[in-house]
Amino acid sequence: MISVYHYMGVAGILFAMGTYGVLTRRNAIVIFMCVELMLNSVNLTFISLSAHLQNMDGQIFVFFIMAVAAAEAAVGLALMITFYRNRASIDVDDMNMLKW
Amino acid sequence: MENLVEIALQNVNMAAILPSVILTCFGMGLLLINVFLPRGTTRPAVWISIIGLVVTGFFVFSGWGDPQYGFNDAVAMDNYAAFFSIIFLFAAGLTILISDNYLHREGYPVNEYYPLILFATAGAMWMASGTDMMTIFLGLEVMSISLYVLAGFFRGQVRSNEAGLKYFLLGAFSTGFLLYGMALIYGVTGSTKLTEIGVYLSAHSSLLDNPMTLAGLVLLSIGFLFKLGAAPFHMWVPDVYQGAPTPITAFMSAGPKAAAFAAFLRIMEYCFFTLKPEWTAMLWVLAVMTMIIGNVIAIKQTNIKRMLAYSSIAHAGYAMVGMVAANEIGYSGILFYMLAYTFMNIGAFAVLTLAGKKGEDNLTLEGFSGFGFKRPYLGVAMTIFLFSLMGLPPTAGFTGKFYIFAGAIDAGYIWLAIIGVLNSAVSLYYYLRVMVYMYFRDPVEDYSWVSLPAAAVISIVIAIIGVFYLGIIPGDVMELAKLAVF
């Protein structure tokens, strides 16, 4: 029997994987994909808890998160394209103009 | 079915979101008008957005003392939200006034800049008035997404691209933490409404040391501390502030920071008042770290924009002291300080905007040698703002810090107040150094490129009036701030 704990566990593992990816990867697009993974683990958490609690709020929240993630993707990819045009790279190690 | 629709409609109260809706309408109308304006004509957009801010400010003012709750208690336009909304409107207005000339100088006379600032302001207002985690999240994202674009606004400049991309990646990363915290809190309490969460947690005291509650609290705090630029989540602040267009840096350091404080404070006070000892202890450590890191690293900086970025980290630390105090004077001190900080910091950035050359290569300390004698008016203005940032009387910075530290002492945090005062003593060094360069070094340039456009002068004058008004007669505004807190 799959309980809410299983879903929460999967979501927690996904979140940890996303966090690990953001911290270790060097390619901006892969980092962004890892951020999306984190957001999707949050969606999974919300939906499983919503089903468990018999409460609709969590599912509505998920719709907002998906809409916002789409808007964020549009802006983020545009920023990456402008950076790529000027530096011909999207490696975060090449973002080295601003340093102390 | 009809019944459900009726119930849903009864809960809608447009008065609760009226000011931000008006602001958004102005923003969207401006986007439409921009299509018909010839390229490079930005003057109408400036004045339309200023009119929009003034009209919004009028509606915020007229709602003072008359709290409106709407959308099934997801939005509360109370005094607290109104006070913060005024701060955001001032920040946006002063920023827009210093932007026009700057955008032309840098070769990006693009009209879309102004609607984006209006949308960011509207998002900040939703953050301040949100009493449901969904509203706060949506406001945060509306604000942040507009700011990502604005930080990377100069498409051809690698520095601006880099600032925008860094801000975007780290901002989205922190949003993940914030949302995971919200999800866990929702799982514990079964609600996303702040008051219901608070009531549920105080009714079920066994949940207070539940790991899920504590993990939710910590993740939520990480998300907000990130937006505040508090240590140890401050690493993005100097890079983004240095690379972004200077007026946008001014806006980011005032408006969105105040918005993050507004939402963070409301969530902590509404949801987690039962866990107050825990989160004040956490914020005690972080406030001290933030103040020390901001002030100590600022000493080393030679670029004034980057120095002001570190100083803005330190100022977030001072305001966090008010949260640790967690009493009326501390909380109203935060509101007061954020208003004071808006005037003094945007003023300093306004002078910086005017003093810079095309391409922003004149923002180092050496570049300011002899500036005070060559450009006396701007020199005096900069001096006033720097004195205020140091926290010297009779300026707004002094009274703001006074209220916040008084709150800390009132709550028994003597050591925290002492550390805060010592930190402002450290900050004297790097602010005074700017003045030493301005007045005691021989000029290397004649600053012939510095012009004084009317709009920017209006902005600086408003900022100076604000600094002295809050510094000399702080009582009136402080009374309002006291009425605004919970």
- Rounded distance between C-alpha atoms, residue B287 and residue B345, angstroms: 20
B164 touches chain A (CB under 8 A): yes
Identity of the residue in B148, B163, B191 whose CB atom sits nearest the CB atom of A98? B163
A22–B161 C-beta distance less than 8 A: no
Torsion sign (Cα): A37, A38, A43, A46: positive
- The predicted pLDDT at position B447 comes to 81
B179–A65 C-beta distance less than 8 A: yes
**Cβ under 8 Å to B: A residues 67-96:** 68, 71-72, 75-76, 78-80, 82-83, 85-87, 92, 95
Helices and strands in chain A: count of H runs, count of E runs: 3, 0
B300 touches chain A (CB under 8 A): yes
Side-chain half-sphere exposure of B305, counting CA atoms within 13 A:
29
**Cβ under 8 Å to A: B residues 404-443:** none
Q: What is the pLDDT of residues B3-27, one digit of tens each?
A: 777 777 777 888 889 999 999 999 9
Q: Assess whether pLDDT exceeds 70 at residue A74.
A: yes
Instruction: Give yes or no for a contact between B30 and B49, defined as CB atoms under 8 angstroms apart.
Output: yes
Decide: helix, strand or coil at residue B65: coil
Side-chain half-sphere exposure of B227, counting CA atoms within 13 A:
35
A92–B183 C-beta distance less than 8 A: no
Among residues B385, B247, B245, B401, the alpha carbon closest in space to that of B314 is found at B401
- Rounded distance between C-alpha atoms, residue B64 and residue A20, angstroms: 47
B187–A18 C-beta distance less than 8 A: no
- The predicted pLDDT at position B129 comes to 93
Whole-number mean pLDDT of chain A?
A: 92
Outline where DSSP puts E strands in B243-308: none
Whole-number mean pLDDT of chain B?
A: 91
Q: Read off the pLDDT band of B250 (50, 70, 90).
A: very high
B155–A41 C-beta distance less than 8 A: no
Mention every residue, 6+ apart, whose C-beta is less than 8 A from residue B313: B229, B230, B231, B234, B237, B238, B290, B293, B294
Q: Assess whether pLDDT exceeds 90 at residue A59.
A: yes
Residues of B in contact with A49 (CB under 8 A): 183, 186-187
- Rounded distance between C-alpha atoms, residue A82 and residue B243, angstroms: 14
B75: part of which helix (H) or strand (E)? Answer: strand B75-77
Token pair for residue B414? 């003597």
Q: Read off the pLDDT band of B362 (50, 70, 90).
A: low
Minimum distance, in Å, between the CA of residue B145 and any CA atom of chain A: 7
Q: What is the pLDDT of residues B370-394, one digit of tens each?
A: 888 888 999 999 999 999 999 988 8
Q: Read off the pLDDT band of B346 (50, 70, 90).
A: very high
